[in-house]
Amino acid sequence: MRIQKLDSRSKKNLLEDLLKRSPNQYGQYEEGVAKILSRIKEEGDNALFAYTEEFDHAKIDKNNIRVTEEEIREAYEQIDSGLVDIIREAMENIRVYHEKQKQYSWFDSKSDGTILGQKVTPLQRVGVYVPGGKAAYPSSVLMNVIPAKVAGVDEIVMTTPPGRDGKVTPTTLVAAHEAGVDVIYKAGGAQAIGALAYGTESIKRVDKIVGPGNIYVALAKKAVYGHVSIDAVAGPSEILVIADETANPRYVAADLLSQAEHDELASAILVTTSETLAEKVSEEVDRFLETLSRSEIIRKSLDNYGYILVAETMEDAIDIANEIASEHLEIQTKDPYNVMTKIRNAGAIFIGEYASEPLGDYFAGPNHVLPTNGTARFFSPLSVDDFIKKSSIIGYSREALEKIHTKIEAFAEAEHLTAHANSIKVRFEEQEG
Ligand SMILES: NC(=O)c1ccc[n+]([C@@H]2O[C@H](COP(=O)([O-])OP(=O)(O)OC[C@H]3O[C@@H](n4cnc5c(N)ncnc54)[C@H](O)[C@@H]3O)[C@@H](O)[C@H]2O)c1
Ligand SMILES: N[C@H](CO)Cc1c[nH]c[nH+]1
Ligand SMILES: [Zn+2]
């Protein structure tokens, strides 16, 4: 990996490079995605099946688009029962963490009969996109579905791309069944997002689409926003490690590579105050690359978006981390909790050398669907909040309204909205008349 001093020039280059990963930069894909979406809107299933054949090389039609109970049974037979137990344990950790996010309706009442409150209602029908192009993501099934379940969503439908044989990876099916998905459709990419947003003969439209995916998925979600709601756009994975001379270079290298293997567009950045660590991490990266199965993807991702930056001070390292606002931020320094208090922008913060990023991807409990591309400046991890909506409650008695009615009338008249003023006035005209 390239090692550079963190100065204003390298910082500018890095930020410009990272910007290239933004879905907003992908003009060349945008047109294709728009075409896919418009064909899905107009032609429904026919377009969906044609695109599945073109991009996933799978023959899908109305008779096999929906995963059957038989396919789920087969999936259980194909995977190790030990893995089912691991999925169940991970699910429990994720459930317990997300239960703490649950919000409840509340009502405040006063003796004059005023009741103000907030009613929390789960969304009715949610579509979960589970990526499945370059890798299968049963862990993403759990991360999307469990918060929806905790929120109390009525119906959860899932789409994921089929393999060339028209089947979905067994582990993904088992995770979906364990988590309680209601229906699973074999559809991927922008065409699946279009089907969830507009509906087709086979797929009923949903109220919200959540879940990560590649550039086609991310752009499609952005484009259908408004027809349906979406969660934050979670794109190609990112990791930024802040480390000092106390960090273990082997651990740091391994963690950087863990995210680079997701995608050629993934980014892996180390910012360190130690030149020695920088050198050692670079060597460890090369050593690991000899053995890792996805080295081709990793090399491309590191060539494009892999950086080792040597900062003069920890404050400089923290500043650049805040500016990049990485999806994952690891802190491997002698006082990681102190550094953590100075972090403003990051999707998930991993503290200390034993909180390696994949712990969060699979098992610890917090959600791994996180804001990418600097959007951690204003977006949060996927959570139970994504699956609820709130309604305000206002209840007033005559006594309560009488105390303030002239103030509302005056306010409405100041806006020249006399019908508003009248709707208050009319309730008191007998007494005053
Ligand atoms: N941020 C997160 O929480 C998170 C979690 C898991 C995965 N990810 C990211 O999700 C992404 C998964 O990507 P993936 O590709 O493996 O799976 P994917 O399911 O997102 O994409 C595969 C689909 O892309 C479509 N596609 C492929 N080539 C196309 C083309 N030329 N034109 C139009 N459509 C095309 C196909 O329809 C295919 O079904 C990776 O970038 C990974 O880093 C992010
Ligand atoms: N690191 C990914 C989010 O960027 C999530 C994931 C799933 N499986 C492995 N990793
Ligand atoms: Zn990962």
Ordered DSSP codes for 68-136 = PHHHHHHHHHHS-HHHHHHHHHHHHHHHHHHHTT----EEEE-TTS-EEEEEEEE-SEEEEE---SSS-
> In the annotation, is 328 catalytic?
yes
- 358, part of any domain: yes
- 360, part of any domain: yes
Nearest residue (CA) to ligand 1, atom 36? 189
Tell me if 22 sits within 8 A of 373, measured CB to CB: yes
User: What's the pLDDT at 431?
Assistant: 54
Count the domains in the chain: 3
Q: Which residue has the tokens 């400089």?
A: 316
Tell me if 112 sits within 8 A of 210, measured CB to CB: no
Tell me if 266 sits within 8 A of 238, measured CB to CB: yes
| Distance from Cα 105 to the centre of ligand 2, integer Å | 33
> Which run of H or of E encompasses 309?
strand 306-310
| Distance from Cα 158 to the centre of ligand 1, integer Å | 15
Residues 55 and 199 in one domain: yes
Closest by Cα among 142, 160, 151 to 123: 151
Cα 344–Cα 18–Cα 363 angle in degrees, nearest 5? 60
Work out which ligand 2 atom sits closest to the CA atom of 357: 1
Closest by Cα among 188, 99, 179, 190 to 139: 179
Residue ranges of the annotated binding site for Zn(2+) are: 259, 262, 361, 420
Closest by Cα among 37, 387, 31 to 200: 37
| Distance from Cα 399 to the centre of ligand 2, integer Å | 57
> In the annotation, is 227 catalytic?
no
Name beta bridge partners: 309. 4, 271
At residue 410, φ and ψ (nearest 5 deg) are -65, -40
Please report the ipTM that was assigned to this predicted complex.
0.97
Residues 418 and 277 in one domain: no
Residue ranges of the annotated binding site are: 129, 191, 214, 237, 259, 262, 328, 361, 415, 420
Closest by Cα among 155, 180, 158 to 91: 180
- 243, part of any domain: yes
Tell me if 140 sits within 8 A of 211, measured CB to CB: yes
**CB atoms closer than 10 angstroms to residue 300:** 16
Residues 66 and 120 in one domain: yes
The last residue of one of the domains, among 235, 260, 291, is 235
Closest by Cα among 241, 279, 273 to 257: 241
Nearest residue (CA) to ligand 1, atom 22? 133
The β-bridge relationship of strands 306-310 and 3-5 is parallel
Work out which ligand 2 atom sits closest to the CA atom of 140: 7
Closest by Cα among 353, 360, 304, 358 to 333: 353
- 386, part of any domain: no
Q: 272 is written with which tokens? A: 């360190």
**What is the rounded distance in angstroms from the CA atom of residue 214 to the CA atom of residue 130?**
10
The last residue of one of the domains, among 211, 235, 259, is 235
> Which run of H or of E encompasses 165?
none
DSSP structure class, residue 67 = P
Residues 119 and 202 in one domain: yes
Nearest residue (CA) to ligand 1, atom 17? 133
Tell me if 282 sits within 8 A of 241, measured CB to CB: no
Q: In angstroms, how far is CA 292 from the centroid of its own chain?
A: 27
Residues 294 and 249 in one domain: yes
**What is the rounded distance in angstroms from the CA atom of residue 372 to the CA atom of residue 17?**
14
Residue 60: C-alpha distances to residues 53, 202, 214 (Å): 7, 11, 21
Point out the ligand nearest to the CA of residue 186.
1
Residues 260 and 310 in one domain: yes
Residues 321 and 217 in one domain: no
Catalytic, out of 98, 177, 328, 405: 328
Q: Where are the beta strands (DSSP E) in 196-247?
A: 208-210, 229-230, 238-243
| Distance from Cα 135 to the centre of ligand 2, integer Å | 10
| Distance from Cα 257 to the centre of ligand 2, integer Å | 12
| Distance from Cα 367 to the centre of ligand 2, integer Å | 10
> Which run of H or of E encompasses 379?
none
Nearest residue (CA) to ligand 1, atom 2? 369
DSSP output for 174-192: HHHHHHT-SEEEE--HHHH
Structural domain for 325, as ranges? 3-21+236-364
Residues 229 and 242 in one domain: no
Residues 289 and 176 in one domain: no
CATH of the domain at 247: 3.40.50.1980
The pTM for the full model equals: 0.93
Q: 66 in helix, strand or coil?
A: strand
Residues 207 and 79 in one domain: yes
Residues of the chain with pLDDT under 50: 433
Tell me if 130 sits within 8 A of 161, measured CB to CB: no
Q: Which residue has the tokens 């609820």?
A: 388
Helix/strand/coil (H/E/C) assignment for every residue in 276-307: HHHHHHHHHHHHHHCCCCCHHHHHHHHHHHEE
Catalytic, out of 238, 261, 327, 353: 327
Residues 95 and 196 in one domain: yes
Q: 214 is written with which tokens? A: 């590649």
Point out the ligand nearest to the CA of residue 372.
1
User: What's the pLDDT at 23?
Assistant: 67
Residues 204 and 241 in one domain: no
Nearest residue (CA) to ligand 1, atom 28? 55
As for ligand 1, residues whose beta carbon falls within 6 Å of it are 32, 55-56, 131-135, 137, 140, 161, 188-190, 212-214, 216-217, 234, 236-237, 262-263, 266, 368-370, 372
